[in-house]
Structure 1
Amino acid sequence: MTNQPKRVLTIQSHVAFGHVGNSAAVFTLQRMGIEAMPINTVQFSNHSGYDVFSGQVFTAEQISDVLRGLRENHFLEKVDAVISGYIGKVGVGQVIHDVVREIRTHNPDAMYVCDPVMGDKEDGVGFFVDETIPPLMKEALESATIITPNYFEFEVLCGKSVETLEDACREARKLIANNHYLKTVLITSFRVNDADDELMTLAITADEAWKVITPRCHYVPMPSGTGDTFTALYLAHMLNGDSVEKAITYTTSTLYALVKDTPNGSHDLSLVREQAQIIEPKELFMAEKFC
């Protein structure tokens, strides 16, 4: 059959209530016409930003067992991209990296999109992962096609402070030059001169760099799942054949719309209620070249 939808293996957390990890990515991918194959690294009642949560964390062996069934049914031979998000244990990260290599033996053009979740600058959060995870994320650069760090995580990957757009461009291109598969570095929540009322999202490749500026929503707390939705949405645009410029324009505009239309104080994005904006955000913030 022709015109089969693209297929994404997404290995992330799952919550019964709310929209983080696969509970954000799967719906976003499907709404964009992409077939999602979710493998859940945890199964929780809700994310840990609530006062109470319960559930199970799956081991590397349990995740490998799910992959075994996909392998034996030859489903891994039909994968166009892999997404990984929060990784709590090094063993799980190794399973992800191994399956990326395996998929590329069948499809050398398969993309791996790594959201290197480690921490955040906002409210002085800093790291919120085990000390074994940052080295793992640096190793992931060797096989990732696209990485989607926030500002804090980008500085961790670079090993230095990044203060200007020119710094960001230079350091991102160093990462691209030093890692064979890496094509695009996306940096979210980038701020220059500590501007309080706007945020920048950057998309940097070896030969072009784009910035999208949006107003900053001063929400307490910020709804969770924005990074997971962002990563899935950008990948979907790329799989659907969009340029980097269009993909970052629409992805950032959609994320702004979803956050803006989420009530202040909510822990979760209004992803289902505002799903039309996944396809066509009401307001476009256009990407501008910057270096």
Structure 2
Amino acid sequence: MEGATPPASATATTPDAPSARSAPAGRPAVVVLSSLVARGSVGGRAVVFALERMGFPVWFLPTVLLPWHPGHGRASRHVPPADAFAALAADLARAPWLGEVGAVLTGYFGSAEQVEAAAGLVAAIKAARPDALYLCDPVIGDQKPDGSGGLYLPEATAIAIRDRLMPLADIATPNRFEAGWLSGLPVGSTAEAIAAARALGPGTVLVTSAPAMMHRSVATLLVEATRCLQAEHPLVEGAPNGTGDLLAATFLARRLDGMTSEAALPRALGAVFEMVARSVRAGSDELVLAAEQDTILHPMAQVTVRAIATPKPRAK
């Protein structure tokens, strides 16, 4: 992996080194780096719950500690010291059980230094298990229909995610604003969003909050090198936060279970749509993951999926 050197402690060859342990039978472990809230179902709380409910062991390294989602109001925010976070990431990178890990999922980061430590951990995991998947959910910002919004973390952190993590990712799950910011391209139309997604680098990109064809609908684009799918479902007013976290986790889980991207998309998005609808019906300001956990495994909601014709990539 060019530009992603694992921590020195991860390269030692000893009887307890990761290469000495083979991957166990059954579902692989997933390493998750994201935020941790005391109350709510966002960030790492949503990701870890969904993955464990689907049968995947999780190694969770929190990047920031919050009492609740910032959208509920101002509150304290604790980011671990950069050296302490890097030391924890380096410990995981040299863990004797690294062969158990089949995937990494990263979300919100508290600093650019954390991104650097995460890049080293991803590289170490892929060195120990080359078939491991890395899903980068580049949680850097959003834009409302009225044009307000933008980056909600320091630009240096967003740049680090763009330059250090996106080149390592097999799968990325940006929203439309994030796809545009990371690629530097316009995303006003479906064609533009597809072009921006392909410019990001990962072989599979899900663009959430994409332009929809149906009135009062929400669209997600699945963009790969030679195909693009658009999935839509009706808009649910008052949707709680955490939908992007849940989509990233459920899509990755379906892929780890052997599904193609095309098959995983409606299953993952159907689970998110149904969870949102059930949460709003319950009058909750958070996703009711525990109460409606069967929805994660067996979603009944249907989403509309259609192929989008796009120009074939030019031969180099």
TM-score (norm 1): 0.90
**Cα separation, 1, equivalents of 2:212 and 2:264:** 23
The Cα RMSD (Å) is 2.0
Distance 2:78 2:182 in 1: 30
Out of 35, 49, 61, the residue aligned to residue 27 of structure 1 is: 49
Cα distance change of structure 1 residues 218 and 35 upon mapping to structure 2, 3 Å threshold: same
**Residues 41 and 59 of structure 1 are in contact (CA less than 8 Å); yes or no, is this contact kept in structure 2?**
no
Maintained 8 Å contact 2:93/2:125? no
Q: Does 1:185 align with 2:205?
A: yes
CA-CA distance at 1:242 after TM superposition = 0.7
Q: Do structure 1's residue 129 and structure 2's residue 153 form an aligned pair?
A: yes
Q: Is the contact between residue 190 and residue 211 of structure 2 (CA under 8 Å) also seen in structure 1?
A: no
- Following superposition, the deviation at residue 161 of structure 1 comes to 1.2
Match of 1:107 among 126, 129, 132: 129
Partner residue, 2:19 = none
Q: Which runs of 5+ in 2 are unaligned?
A: 1-22, 310-316
Letter in 1 for 2:260: S
**Distance verdict in 2 for CA 1:43–1:289, change over 3 Å:** same
| Matched residue SS, 2:75 | coil
Counterparts in 2 of 1:6-85, with a 5 A limit? 6-51=28-73, 53-54=75-76, 56-85=78-107
Q: Does the C-alpha gap of structure 1 residues 67 and 119 become closer, same or farther in structure 2, counting only changes over 3 Å?
A: closer
Structure 1 segments of 4+ aligned residues over 6 angstroms from their partners: none
Partner SS for 2:168: coil
Alignment of 1:120 onto 2:130: no
Larger Rg: 2
Q: Distance in 2 between matches of 1:155 and 1:100?
A: 24
Aligned-pair distance for 1:59?
2.4
TM-score by length of 2: 0.83
Q: Is the 8 A contact 2:93 2:121 kept in 1?
A: no
**CA shift digits 1:240-279 (9 cap, x unpaired):** 0011111110111111111111137743111111111101
Q: Distance in 2 between matches of 1:10 and 1:134?
A: 18
Q: Is 2:170 the partner of 1:145?
A: yes
In structure 1, the residue matched to 2:240 is 223
1:215-250 deviation digits (Å, cap 9, x = unpaired):
11121xx41111111111110010000111111101
Is contact 1:184–1:203 with CA below 8 Å preserved after alignment?
yes
Give the gaps of 5 or more residues in structure 1: 177-181
Alpha carbons 1:49, 1:267 under 8 Å: kept: no
What per-residue deviation string (whole Å, max 9, x for no partner) do you get for residues 104-123 of structure 1?
Answer: 11111221111111111225
Q: Is the alpha carbon distance of 1:83 and 1:241 closer, same or farther for their aligned partners in structure 2, counting shifts above 3 Å?
A: same
Q: Is the 8 A contact 1:234 1:247 kept in 2?
A: yes
Q: Distance in 1 between matches of 2:190 and 2:69?
A: 33
Q: How many residues align?
A: 283
CA separation of 1:2/1:77 partners in 2, compared to 1, >3 Å: closer, same or farther? closer
SS of the equivalent of 1:188 reads strand
User: What CA distance in whole angstroms lies between the structure 2 residues aligned with 1:101 and 1:2?
Assistant: 20
